[in-house]
Structure 1
Amino acid sequence: MHVADLTEELVAIPSHEDESAAGEFVASWLRDHTDATVEHDAHGNVVARKGSGDGDSLALVGHHDVVPPDESQVDADGGYVVERSDGRIYGRGSADMKGSVAAAMLAFEAADTPAEDELVFVSFAGEEQGGVGCRAAIEDGFSVDYAVVGEGSTGYSAPGITDVAVAHKGRRGSTIVAEGAAAHASEPEAGANAIYRATEAVDVVRGLEFPSTGVLGHEVRGSVAVTEIDGGSAWNVIPEQCEATVDERTVPGERAPLDRVEDTEGVSWRVDQDLPPMACGDADFADAVLDSATDAQDGAPEHVVKPHATDAGWLAAEGTDCVVVGAAEPGEAHTADESVSVDVLERCQRIYEGVAASWVR
Structure 2
Amino acid sequence: MSELTDLTERLVSIPSHEDETQAGDAIESWLRDETEANVTRDDAGNVRAWRNESADAPSLAFVGHHDVVPPDDSQTADGGEYVVYRDDGRLHGRGTADMKGAVAAMLLAFREADPDRPLGFASFVGEEVGGEGARFAIEGGFDPDYALVGEGSTGYSADGVLDVAVAHKGRRASTVTAAGTSAHASEPEAGENAVYRACDAVDVIRDLDAPSADVLGETLSGSVAVTEIDGGTAWNVIPDECAVTVDERTVPGERADLASVEDIAGVSWAVDQDLPPMACDDEAFADAAVAAVRAEQDGAGERVSKPHATDAGWLADAGVTCLVCGPAEPGEAHTATESVSVDVLGRCRRVYERVAER
TM-score, reference length from structure 2: 0.98
The aligned runs of 1:11-90 (5 Å cut-off) are 11-51=12-52, 52-90=54-92
In structure 2, how many angstroms separate the alpha carbons of the residues matched to 1:297 and 1:157? 13
Q: CA deviation at 1:85?
A: 0.8
Q: Does 1:172 align with 2:172?
A: yes
Instruction: Give runs of aligned pairs for residues 59-208 of structure 1, distance below 5 A.
Output: 59-112=61-114, 114-115=115-116, 117-208=117-208
Question: Could you list the per-position Cα deviations for residues 157-210 of structure 1 after superposition, in whole angstroms to 9, with x for gaps in the alignment?
Answer: 111111100000000000000111111111111111111100100100000011
Whichever residue aligns with residue 112 of structure 2, its letter is A
CA distance in 2, matches of 1:318, 1:177: 31
**Structure 1 spans left out of the alignment, 5+ residues:** none
The number of equivalent residue pairs is 356
**1:2 CA drift (Å):** 2.1
1:207-246 matches, within 5 Å, as 207-246=207-246
User: 1:278-293 residue pairs with structure 2 within 5 A?
Assistant: 278-293=278-293
State the Cα deviation string for residues 65-93 of structure 1 (Å, max 9, x = none). Answer: 00111111111111111111111111111
User: CA–CA distance in 1 between the matches of 2:128 and 2:240?
Assistant: 35
CA distance, structure 2, for counterparts of residue 298 and residue 102 of structure 1: 24
Structure-2 separation of matches of 1:192 and 1:354: 65
State the distance in 1 between where 2:339 and 2:308 align. 18
TM-score (normalizing by structure 1): 0.97
1:54: how far off?
2.9
Q: Which amino acid aligns with 1:303?
A: R
- Cα shift at 1:129: 1.1
Specify the alignment match of 1:264 in structure 2.
Answer: 264
Give the 3-state SS of the residue equivalent to 1:301 in structure 2: coil
Q: Does the Cα contact within 8 Å between 1:161 and 1:299 map onto a contact in 2?
A: no
Which residue is equivalent to 1:7? 8
Identity percentage of aligned residues: 67
Output one character per residue of 1:338-358: Cα deviation in whole Å (capped at 9) or x when no partner. 111111101111110110111
Instruction: Check whether the contact 1:63–1:98 (CA below 8 A) recurs between aligned residues.
Output: yes
**Are 1:171 and 1:249, in contact at CA under 8 Å, matched by a contact in 2?**
yes
C-alpha distance in 1 between matches for 2:89 and 2:343: 7
Instruction: Give 1:53 shift.
Output: 4.3
Partner secondary structure for residue 274 of structure 2 = strand
SS at match of 2:61: strand
Post-superposition shift, 1:243? 0.5
How far apart, CA to CA, are the structure 2 residues paired with 1:254 and 1:171?
Answer: 13
Q: Deviations over 1:36-87 (max 9, x none)?
A: 1111211111111011243210011100000111111111111111111111
Deviation at 1:233, TM superposition (A): 0.9
Q: Which structure 2 segments of 5+ residues have no match?
A: none
CA distance in 1, matches of 2:156, 2:63: 20
Query: Do residues 309 (structure 1) and 346 (structure 2) align?
Result: no
3-state SS of paired residue (2:154):
coil
Q: Distance in 1 between matches of 2:113 and 2:350?
A: 11
SS of 2:272 mapped into structure 1: strand
Letter of the structure 1 residue corresponding to residue 309 of structure 2: A
Please give the alpha-carbon distance, in whole angstroms, between the structure 2 residues aligned to 1:294 and 1:280.
19
> How far did residue 153 of structure 1 move?
0.4
Cα distance in 1, alignment partners of residues 319 and 55 from structure 2: 17
Q: What's the CA shift for 1:298?
A: 3.3
Task: Give, in whole Å, the separation in 2 of the partners of 1:357 and 1:251.
Answer: 31
Partner secondary structure for residue 289 of structure 2: helix
Letter in 2 for 1:54: D
1:131 Cα shift?
Answer: 0.5
In 2, Cα distance between the equivalents of 1:267 and 1:71? 43
CA offset at residue 106 of structure 1?
Answer: 0.6
Matched position secondary structure for 1:2: helix
Deviant stretches of 4+, over 6 Å? none
Shift of 1:253: 1.3
Contact 1:172/1:275, CA 8 A, preserved across alignment: yes
